Structure 1
Amino acid sequence: MKYAILCSLLWLTHSIATPLSLSDEVFQEAQHILQTQQESHYDHKTVINESKGYYRVDCSSFVCHVLRKKSPLALAMLPIDVHHVHARAQNFYDYFKQLESVPNAHWMAVKTLFDLERGDIIAWKYDLSSHKKDTGHVVIVAEKPIQEEQTLYRIRVIDASKGKHANDTRAKESDGIGSGDMWFRVNEKGAPIGLYWSSKEKKERQHFIVMGRVQH
């Protein structure tokens, strides 16, 4: 009995003494917004009223809002395009790509998909030939990747989007902030090279994909 009590006290002491990592704080903030939002919409014009739980955001303004609350220094490192007020998906991509060769104190590159942790950020950039209006997409990792095939992993993400993922929390006719499952294809080095937005039965999308982790 005394041994069991001692073990419980040691575990409690360890839990109190071990603070959350910054990336885990990013996840917790995104999860808090997901659970407490009253209304959200996907829009490139950002309007946020936290007291009312109202969010009108796109994928990048949502992630920037989370970073602003948890790591404004890391957010300040991200480049911003001319005539824009926050980093967009392509800026996340370009910055994370640069991290692979030039790391810094605020961010680190995550080079292999199976090393992702909660709160890490995945960004991909659309090829200019696709003629898409958006520059790409950016999501926050909600759960560690689960391997389903030799080169295919399922990941639960939190994002702001128009389209829904598999097992999505967004209502049928709604968009905005939600959580759902995506699948990512990796190469022989474990780096992501393709994705399935909502179903493995649909065509795999090939994009330039990178990953980053906030550290300070």
Structure 2
Amino acid sequence: MKRIIVFYLFCLSVVHCFASPVSLSQEIYEEATRISETMRETHYDHHIIIDEKQGYYSLDCSGFVCHILQKKAPMSLRVLPVDKHHTHARAQNFYDYFKSLQNVSSQKEWMPILRVKDLEEGDIIAWKYDPSLQKKDTGHVVIVQQKPLLEEGNLYRIRVIDSSKGKHANDTRAKENDGIGSGDMWFRVDESDYPIGLYWSSKEKKESQHPIAMGRALK
């Protein structure tokens, strides 16, 4: 009997050694999903207030992503640029940094994603608003919750998790609520499968065209 137990424990150790480790993107996805499913109250606000014990999250899109990166990928968060007079990277910083990676041969903390079809759960999409639009936000940043689904020749549907004032399609946020939630968006791509346009809540509405970049945290 003792030999059987020893052999069983040995087999378990072998399986553990060869099991595929959970990727960092998967950990980011799982943490974002956990928060969205267990939180008790959330609001969209540029002034960040988080009380995890009480399940309270008041933050904007970049604050939400940075909070998760701080827990799961602190080294990736550390290299992101931060604007003067701000405490964390904003949407435009995510975009600028991801875009800069496309001209770098090797990168330890982040990997640029150049094709929408290569996005995985937990990857990050950021886009930047033109200053001439005079928006209060610099852009928007989301976490991929489900792998992209190609619906038409150049249009993908992607379910994302974010902190937002507005609702996406099939959104989990109640009609009167903002803050953290998940929903469907659509991204139009060019011939190289790079995103060049987006639909916030319906592909029947007017397409928004903003510079878009994508990245995967590595550390």
Give the TM-score category using the shorter length.
Answer: over 0.9
The residue type equivalent to 1:58 in the other structure is D
Alignment match of 2:189 (pick from 163, 186, 190): 186
User: Is the aligned partner of 1:86 residue 2:88?
Assistant: yes
Q: Deviation at 1:104?
A: 1.1
1:16 CA drift (Å): 7.5
Q: Kindly tell me the number of residue pairs found equivalent between the two proteins.
A: 207
- Of 9, 29, 32, which residue of structure 2 is paired with 1:30? 32
Tell me which residue corresponds to 2:102: 100
Shift of 1:14: 6.8
Give how far 1:35 is off: 0.7
Q: What is the Cα deviation at residue 101 of structure 1?
A: 1.0
1:110 maps to which of 110, 113, 123: 113
| DSSP-derived class of the 1:26 partner | helix
Q: Aligned-residue CA RMSD in angstroms? A: 1.5
Whole-angstrom CA distance in 1 between matches of 2:153 and 2:197: 14
- The gaps in structure 2 that reach 5 residues or longer are 1-10
Normalised by the size of structure 1, how large is the TM-score?
0.93
Structure 2 residue corresponding to 1:158, chosen from 156, 161, 169: 161
Structure 1 distance, partners of 2:17, 2:215, is 26
What does residue range 120-131 of structure 1 map to in structure 2 within 5 Å? 120-131=123-134
Quote the Cα distance in structure 2 between the aligned partners of 1:118 and 1:178.
Answer: 15
**Displacement of 1:13 after TM fit?**
3.1
Q: Percent identity?
A: 65
- Stretches of structure 1 lacking an aligned partner (at least 5 in a row): 1-8
For residues 5-20 of structure 1, what are the structure 2 equivalents within 5 Å? 13=15, 17-20=19-22
* Mapped partners of 1:15, 1:113: distance in 2: 32
